[in-house]
Chain A
Amino acid sequence: MRQSSFQTPDPDTRLILEKGGTHFANRLIAPLDTPTIDFQTWFGLANLRAEKPAIPDLAEPEVVRHYTVLSQKNFGVDTGPYPLGSCTMKYNPKVHETLAALPGFANVHPLQPDATAQGNLALMADLEKHLCAICGVDRFTFQPSAGAHGEWTGLLMIKAYHDSRGEGYRNVMLVPDSAHGTNPASAAMVGYEIRQIASGPDGMVDLNALEAALDERCAGLMLTNPNTLGLFEKNIGRIAALVHHAGGQLYYDGANINAILLQTRPGDMGFDVVHLNLHKSFSTPHGGGGPGSGPVGVKAHLAPFLPAPDLMKNPTGSYSLEYERPLSVGRVRSFNGSFLVLVRAYAYILANGAMGLREVSQASVANANYLLAHLRKAYDLPFDQPCLHEFVLSGSRQKELGCSTMDIAKRLIDYGFHPPTVYFPLIVKEAMMIEPTETETQEGLDGFVEAMLAIAEEVKNTPELLHNAPHPNGHTVPISRPDELRAAKDPVLRV
């Protein structure tokens, strides 16, 4: 690995490990109040590290300033519109943070006796009840740590189900070509062979292609609905019937459930397994790439296979975690899942109530259609149908004029917007996937439209503004485009 080439780094980008000189020890803990021990004797010299780990001793103000300055180089949901398709970057109410920090939640050890954590177990039980009602399924597990982890857990249950019926030969998972990359990757991690189903000209699953792919080896179909084009798979009834008739299970990738919250339910559509991304639809903050939480819901026939431990209600009304589950797929992570993420999602559901969640999906779809109506003339719309919570434009017209979708995305940064998801789904050339969410303000929506229309004009008149975008401004945009080739070719992965 190449060494970092910045021996005397620019003070603005100096790493915390490159600071120092104060040699200040923050008085965070009291001095040892028990007898000291001789570590060389206690552990033996052979068990000790040769040198102490190289971490600078910095005073708290220096550390705080360092990370405050770093935070200012980030763009969050509170900074400005964040129409990142498939990511549902909605506003995260501040009260969630206060609640998750309550000592009665944050400071509970995961192995405390169940009797001492009844508040947490009751919260999980009630959240499960809500999510079952919202999704139309019978049980949920909160073990999975993120969406992809949920996919994998759900697929493990499907596999265990087939095995339990003596149908372990079912080892093919069907995945549409418009699917998120995690779908085939998760299926591969349960040992499934992946069979890709082509989308039809309308952007939906091609029923003929689906029928042709169904055989006795089919374990199931993974589907996002609305799909990654923001279109509702209107043939879902037929799809479910076909897959079930072939002996397969139907898996719902919940990445886009924000569009249909309490308008329709995955369970009613025929899905057997559902995963949710609490860090998308249920408003828990994404944290710059986690922590998330990927609860998985199942219909009753799959419940015996839920991961261990499972939450049980005792005859006395108390709750306990049950570990002895003979048919379970086993343990998928340590302890009890990302509990503090559950606290936030629970607060979100309580605050909204059933009507509020219906309004969430309504407003998210209304906002997306509003943007679509105003942008469809300036950009290509490869699948011209009413969208749900998001839609996919193509920058093909602009590409012919010499500006790529990447250029458009980077130019949006100059205008103060987070770019949409680009180059996905793979079935659309120069794709821009736009999801405003229900919490975007009218001012934000109009500003985004104005910026996109202005950029479409710039493509014709001043393309260099796009080619050189974003333009560093010394504060919110600290850098221009990074040299990704250099980063990958000659990696520097630490100092």
Chain B
Amino acid sequence: MSNIPNDLLYAKSHEWIKLDGDTFLIGITDHAQCELGDLVFAEVAAVGKVLKAGQVIGSIESVKTASDIYSPVDGEVIESNSTLGDKPEQINEDPYASWFIRIRPAQPGIPTNLLDAAGYKAMIGE
């Protein structure tokens, strides 16, 4: 049973999204880190990068697999968490504190394709 906080939104590709003023923080879920196993590498998009929804904002690797992390919205990266690169294991230890980027969405409002905690929980079959 993985940890799925109620105050976050979720993308089907296993990112969590935290609304923080007019910006979003984005990371990967506890379920995702658990499936990937011990992470050995993390890379995050640079500040200033302008993205479309569905574009890659980072990538992570475990010993036997690799995965990209996608932006749920159009927007601009205004902060990126460079400490992840040095200590990718913190994503395994505390996935909800280990945000990848802070993005300023191009459009106000909450994207409609995101799930709430219950929806995500149902999606991963827990």
Bound-state CA distance A489–B61 (Å) is: 10
Bound-state CA distance A489–B85 (Å) is: 11
A40 CB → nearest B CB, Å: 44
Q: Encode B87-102 as 1/0 by CB contact (under 8 A) with A.
A: 0110000000000000
Q: Encode B63-106 as 1/0 by CB contact (under 8 A) with A.
A: 11000000000000000000000001100000000000000000
A404 CB → nearest B CB, Å: 12
* Chain A interface, DSSP helix/strand/loop, else mixed: helix
A318 CB → nearest B CB, Å: 52
Q: Encode A472-495 as 1/0 by CB contact (under 8 A) with B.
A: 000000000000110111000000
B contact residues, total (Cβ < 8 Å): 9
Q: Is B40 an interface residue (CB 8 A)?
A: yes
Kindly list chain A residues whose C-beta atoms are within 8 Å of the C-beta of B38: 485, 489
Kindly list chain A residues whose C-beta atoms are within 8 Å of the C-beta of B62: 488
Bound-state CA distance A485–B89 (Å) is: 11
Since A423-B64, A489-B41 are in contact, a sample of 15 more A-B pairs with Cβ atoms closer than 8 Å, ordered by chain A residue number, is A484-B63, A484-B64, A485-B38, A485-B40, A485-B63, A487-B63, A488-B40, A488-B41, A488-B61, A488-B62, A488-B63, A489-B38, A489-B40, A489-B88, A489-B89
A431 CB → nearest B CB, Å: 14
Kindly list chain A residues whose C-beta atoms are within 8 Å of the C-beta of B63: 484-485, 487-488
Q: List B2-55 residues whose CB lies under 8 Å from chain A.
A: 38, 40-41
Bound-state CA distance A446–B88 (Å) is: 47
Bound-state CA distance A484–B62 (Å) is: 10
A418 CB → nearest B CB, Å: 20
B34 CB → nearest A CB, Å: 15
Bound-state CA distance A423–B40 (Å) is: 20
Query: Which of A485, A487, A489 is the most central at the interface, judged by chain B CB atoms within 10 Å of its CB?
Result: A489
Bound-state CA distance A488–B61 (Å) is: 9
Bound-state CA distance A487–B64 (Å) is: 12
* 5 residue pairs from A and B, CB less than 8 Å apart: A484-B63, A488-B40, A489-B40, A489-B41, A489-B89
Kindly list chain A residues whose C-beta atoms are within 8 Å of the C-beta of B40: 485, 488-489
Bound-state CA distance A423–B63 (Å) is: 14
Query: Which of B41, B63, B64 is the most central at the interface, judged by chain A CB atoms within 10 Å of its CB?
Result: B63
Q: Encode A408-424 as 1/0 by CB contact (under 8 A) with B.
A: 00000000000000010
B83 CB → nearest A CB, Å: 15
Kindly list chain A residues whose C-beta atoms are within 8 Å of the C-beta of B89: 489
Query: Which of A423, A487, A488 is the most central at the interface, judged by chain B CB atoms within 10 Å of its CB?
Result: A488
Kindly list chain A residues whose C-beta atoms are within 8 Å of the C-beta of B61: 488
A116 CB → nearest B CB, Å: 50
Q: List A62-118 residues whose CB lies under 8 Å from chain B.
A: none
